[in-house]
Amino acid sequence: MKPCPPAVVLNRGVVLLFAIACGLAVGNVYYAQPLLDAMAHAFDMDPTTIGIVVTLTQVGYGLGLVLLVPLGDLLNRRRLIVVQTLLSCIALLMIALASSSTWLLIGMTLTGMLAVVTQVLVAYAATLAVPQARGQVVGVVTSGIVVGILLARTVSGAMADLAGWRSIYVLSAALTALMALLLYRVLPEREQAQAASGYRQLIVSVFVLFKEEAVLRQRAMLALLTFASAMVLWTPMVLPLSTAPLSLSHSEIGLFGLAGAAGALAAARAGHLADRGLGHWTSGLSLLLMLASWLPIGLTQSSLWALLLGVITFDLGLQAVHVTSQSMIYSVRPEAQSRLTAGYMLFYSIGSALGSVASTAVYAWAGWLGVCLLGAGINAVALAYWLLTLNSGATQRCTALPDQ
């Protein structure tokens, strides 16, 4: 087993910058969810197929995971992060200025592809952290992602009511440009141990890692299932909430995103538990919470309080599973953390895309109850899979060299 490279103690301010940058980047993927009906109206798209906006964003995210994230093991991560962030500004402006649905979908795909800078940042933070605190650092950075997702839904809904749905993309482009400057000035210049192979071999090695690492295979499958269920929940939620008898505004719908704030707390705590070797049991409990959450979510059209309870429980379990999985796979091959991230998150993206397109189709066919049954079924499969792998997924850990 290869020893881990010497780690550095991350300054709290730098960890906070990692978290904020991740939250801003991932928010670009989720702004559209409360705005689907407004986009459908603006471009005369069928409400039952508007989920393609979210799906293409996730497809772009998947392409970015395969083509861009592995570069973190080959290139200077600081420069890679800054360049991706600047390119994201262009993609966001493409959405804001879109004159047709074609340009909208192209912009969404590119935005999703470039948003994978989030995963480069998470892998970089894991590389810089001391092994004993790696899970905690990953948890804090991931909590920034959770907050970013929550604020994305809330702020985009409010901006749509105040200045139209395009305004959030103009605002995000400006903030993203500012973040690129901050990252350039603050990120450490430390170079990681780089992969010796060229780009083609680097991409191939992402898939080789699936053959070699059981932890990656198992955690990637859990990511596919759990994030598919997440998109089943979030993608069509705007449809029952915006129509009679509820008829909520975009701002009111966006506020439901804040109900998942517990997920940020779960992310930070789950990383700490993973550092203590409790990752598998944390995952099991979290999967149970996700499955149970669908009961109150199913009562949405008769009780908004039930939806609130369900969303809190669901996001808490989702983020705990996610951070635990990341902490476990980062301990396996320290020299390949960007590629491990790419492989794991590729399954996340596939699950998200499948969940998005399936949820809107099921909603058109069977309404909100059908959506809830689909989500609960996916979570039940995830729990069964966790039980099957419980005894075969022992966490592998690297041996840290003394700090230098």
pLDDT (0 to 100) of residue 259: 65
pLDDT (0 to 100) of residue 7: 45
CB-CB neighbours of 130 under 10 Å: 16
| 3-state SS class at 4 | strand
251 within a domain of the structure (yes/no): yes
What stretches of 144-229 adopt beta strand conformation (E)?
none
- The total of structural domains in the chain comes to 1
Summarised one tens digit per residue, pLDDT across range 322-359 is 888 888 887 777 777 788 888 898 898 789 878 988 98
Summarised one tens digit per residue, pLDDT across range 21-51 is 999 999 998 888 778 878 888 888 876 677 7
pLDDT (0 to 100) of residue 291: 95
| Residues with Cβ within 8 Å of residue 111, at least 6 apart in sequence | 28, 29, 57, 60, 88, 91, 92, 94, 95
399 within a domain of the structure (yes/no): no
pLDDT (0 to 100) of residue 382: 95
Residue 61 CB-half CA count within 13 A: 29
6 within a domain of the structure (yes/no): no
Rounded to 5°, the CA angle 344-142-402 comes to: 85
- Taking alpha carbons only, the member of 5, 82, 95 closest to residue 333 is 5
Q: DSSP character for 256? A: G
3 within a domain of the structure (yes/no): no
Structure tokens at 209: 């890692």
The length of the chain is: 404
401 within a domain of the structure (yes/no): no
pLDDT (0 to 100) of residue 254: 63
pLDDT (0 to 100) of residue 332: 78
pLDDT (0 to 100) of residue 270: 64
240 within a domain of the structure (yes/no): yes
- Domain containing 212 equals 12-187+198-389
CATH number at residue 231: 1.20.1250.20
Residues of the chain with pLDDT under 50: 1-8, 393-404
22 within a domain of the structure (yes/no): yes
pLDDT (0 to 100) of residue 275: 63
- Taking alpha carbons only, the member of 341, 310, 123, 125 closest to residue 234 is 310
pLDDT (0 to 100) of residue 400: 38
159 within a domain of the structure (yes/no): yes
Rounded to 5°, the CA angle 188-191-195 comes to: 145
Q: How far apart are CA 359 and CA 371, in angstroms?
A: 6
Q: How far apart are CA 359 and CA 233, in angstroms?
A: 8
Backbone angles phi, psi at 188, to 5 degrees: -65, 150
The 10 Å CB-count burial string (b at 16+, else e) for 153-174 is bbbbbbbbeeeebbbbbbbbbe
Structure tokens at 190: 């430390």
Backbone angles phi, psi at 217, to 5 degrees: -60, -50
